[in-house]
Structure 1
Amino acid sequence: MRKRLALTTLAVATAVTAGVAAPASAARPDPVRQGLETLVDSDHAPGALASVLDGKGRFRTYTAGVGDRDTHAKMPRNGQVRIGSVTKSFTAAVVLQLVGEGKISLNKPVDTYLPGLVRGKGIDGKRITVRQLLQHTSGLPDFEDDVTSGILERRYLSPRDALDIALKHKAVFKPGKKWSYSNTNYLLAGLIVERATGRPLAEQIDKRVIQKLGLRHTYFPAPGETAIRERHPQGYRPEPKGAPARDVTGIDPSAAWAAGAMVSTNSDLNRFFSALLKDDGNPLLKKAQRKQLRTTVAMKKGNSRYAMGLGIMRVKQSDTCVFWGHSGGIPGFGTWSGATDDGRAASVTMTLEPKTGEAVEHLEKTVAAGLCRR
């Protein structure tokens, strides 16, 4: 969640553009496979898996390492994984659909939909717009550090309880003045969806995105659901002082909710991002909302390589390759997914929660390897 995007911004300052423009050949190893091997060998993930969707609608799947560190079970191809903050792109897509239906306005304050709910030290829901939530320019404090232990201990936390925790902290800055990643933004976006529709967020994501795109292996966990439903690798969390990584496959992601609770596969994520960015015949968003989706603000002053739209990030990998996507980290897994304007998509997951900027950078570079070569 927040730390993983914070690490992405750390990578903004340190990343070196990967040279992945050329296609794989007999003389040159496949750079996507090389990227997975880096995640296993250098970042110490027990395993990694990826899927690449080319411009002709063909999928390539990859695996590296093992699916279970203790039994050495084989890594399942295209197995289900927890996608962490990639969930935000699904939540934003639903908000934008409701904008297109006239049920939500991006420029109206949060108080329009959740009157009196958002109040705190320097925090006023009358001064924060829906757009600022989706773009992380609200100045709202984050709550991730306060709930991680509960996630690991499988304690259910309702969205309202998580919001109460977040609002105990003071505002980071005045709304609209800066950019700072906060899961609290998407907690509120999810609550606004529920207020606008009168239905649960999970149901709306399922109906409006998952079913519409036929994402057969993607779901929003039910309250109290701690296991991953289908074939999946085990997920791990680094332990301090060089101790073996801890198996945290079974967690309660309820605290992450609209900001990071979902489960999917790399190929389903490719289908989602490819559809989300499509211009002609987009199954998710109308033209006006697609334009809003791509309206960006700088994430780091003086760095034009990264910019944040509404629930989706633009990455300028080179002068000839720009892609859109989102990263996600949650105990057990780290994921980066993205797509280009012409429908190509790539998604990569490591089965170790990324704790360093280098790990997030390696995830992003592996996605770029699938998207930027020809």
Structure 2
Amino acid sequence: MIPANAQNINQLLSSKLDSISENPVHSISVYIKNQDGVLIDQVAGLRAKEGEKALSTDQFRIASSTKLFVSTIVLQLQEEGKLSLTDKVYPYLKDIEYLKLDEFHYYDNLAFAKEISIEQLLSHKSGLADIFNDKQEAFFERVMQNPERQYQPKDIVDLYFEFGLHKETKYKPDEGWHYSDMNYVLLGLLIEKLEQKSLSQSIRDRILSPLDLKDTYFEYYEKTETNKARLHQYIGNIDFDMVNTSFDWSGGGVVSTHQDLATFIEALFNKKLISETSLQKMIAVQPTIKDHLPYGLGVYKSVYNNHTFFGHYGFYGTYIGYCPRTKTVLSYCISQATPSFNTYEFVNAIVESVK
């Protein structure tokens, strides 16, 4: 593959910058790399509305792409014989009192939490509702009442019950698909129970340290020595860099860079983190719902320029993915959750520019 013309890419990125609308885009960065080297490593715009010029090495919140890290650890634990994906999660977590697992999943007034498997959590097939998507207005209002509040997993679970979501499940386990961070809250607690350490420490010990990812950390749950600048990310015109997003936890709490994410996903697909068997299980995607991408175990299947990529999207306009056929990494950060343009079409045009 031949690198794209840098000037053309810069013009394309700059054309989508927007500092005045209700959905401003102050920076866009794109990183594409294959086995021959880096093909695109470019950024346009400012770190924030009145910030310094953005750099392609700046950190950003990867949001739900964190699920790739969590899924990887769960598959590692299966390889180590500490769990099986077919196991029900109930026996592992029933002793966590605030979970109230017996009441966690009601459907048609019947309790089904005991039937939820680890694999169903990974693939969003448990039927659990989501505090972010299903109660978005109430949740957003709660967060903005105290934007500096530090959340712990218990606080996330307490909100789940306060919003009555345990009685608003979508279906019986394994009878449908519904994207819910609550699946990954349970997985985070499962990892902590089995590892007897914090989730942030497990991510560091199992992924960040072995891969020497110096610019990646689990925000609000661990101290970090990194002093890199960071891209501010927005929801509409609200700068979420000013909001404590510890509520994302296992569903989306990692901060990283394009370069570190490339190292991570290359290691994942080169079987440096999990076996070929586990990798194939992870990317064995299934249909989800109408107009939504196929999903595996913490991974989406996407197509860019007629090439299949496996990876994950993040809420604030981010993505990290890998194409096994061409051994290509794609990472981008739009820095806006609700841009006024079609992100897929925009990124696809960039990928098409690489011959």
**1:46 equivalent in structure 2:** 26
Show structure 1 runs of 5+ residues with no match: 1-20, 239-244
Show CA shifts across 1:306-359 (max 9, x none).
3101111111346x4111111111xxx32111111143101111222x226x65
Q: Structure 1 pair 365/130, CA: closer, same or farther in 2 (3 Å)?
A: farther
Q: Distance in 1 between matches of 2:289 and 2:171?
A: 15
How many equivalent pairs are there? 332
Q: Structure 1 pair 292/362, CA: closer, same or farther in 2 (3 Å)?
A: same
Q: Structure 1 pair 139/38, CA: closer, same or farther in 2 (3 Å)?
A: farther
Same amino acid, percent of matched pairs: 28
Show CA shifts across 1:146-190 (max 9, x none).
543455512122112212322431211111111111110111110
1:41-120 mapped onto 2 (5 Å cutoff): 41=18, 44-58=24-38, 60-71=40-51, 73-115=52-94, 117=99, 118=101, 119-120=103-104
Q: 1:275 aligns with which of 263, 267, 275?
A: 267
Show CA shifts across 1:48-91 (max 9, x none).
112221222436321112223225x2112220111111111111
Q: Structure 1 pair 227/198, CA: closer, same or farther in 2 (3 Å)?
A: closer
Residue 191 of structure 1 aligns to a residue in which SS?
helix
Matched, 1:125 2:113: yes
C-alpha displacement at 1:247, in angstroms?
2.7
**1:157 equivalent in structure 2:** 151
Q: Structure 1 pair 231/91, CA: closer, same or farther in 2 (3 Å)?
A: same
**1:36 equivalent in structure 2:** 13
C-alpha displacement at 1:299, in angstroms?
1.9
C-alpha displacement at 1:232, in angstroms?
1.5
Q: Structure 1 pair 227/327, CA: closer, same or farther in 2 (3 Å)?
A: farther
C-alpha displacement at 1:227, in angstroms?
12
Q: 1:351 aligns with which of 335, 346, 350?
A: 335
**2:188 equivalent in structure 1:** 190
C-alpha displacement at 1:236, in angstroms?
2.8
Matched, 1:325 2:305: no
**1:136 equivalent in structure 2:** 124
User: Contact 1:237–1:246 at 8 Å: present in 2 too?
Assistant: yes
User: Contact 1:336–1:363 at 8 Å: present in 2 too?
Assistant: no
**What amino acid does structure 1 have at the position aligned with 2:321?**
G
C-alpha displacement at 1:211, in angstroms?
1.2
Normalised TM-score (structure 1): 0.80
User: Contact 2:200–2:221 at 8 Å: present in 1 too?
Assistant: no
C-alpha displacement at 1:47, in angstroms?
1.2
**1:314 equivalent in structure 2:** 301
Residue 32 of structure 2 aligns to a residue in which SS?
strand
Q: Distance in 2 between matches of 1:212 and 1:224?
A: 17
User: Contact 1:338–1:367 at 8 Å: present in 2 too?
Assistant: no
Q: Distance in 2 between matches of 1:90 and 1:368?
A: 28
Q: Structure 1 pair 149/283, CA: closer, same or farther in 2 (3 Å)?
A: farther
Q: Distance in 2 between matches of 1:70 and 1:227?
A: 26
Q: Structure 1 pair 76/190, CA: closer, same or farther in 2 (3 Å)?
A: same
C-alpha displacement at 1:267, in angstroms?
1.5
Normalised TM-score (structure 2): 0.84
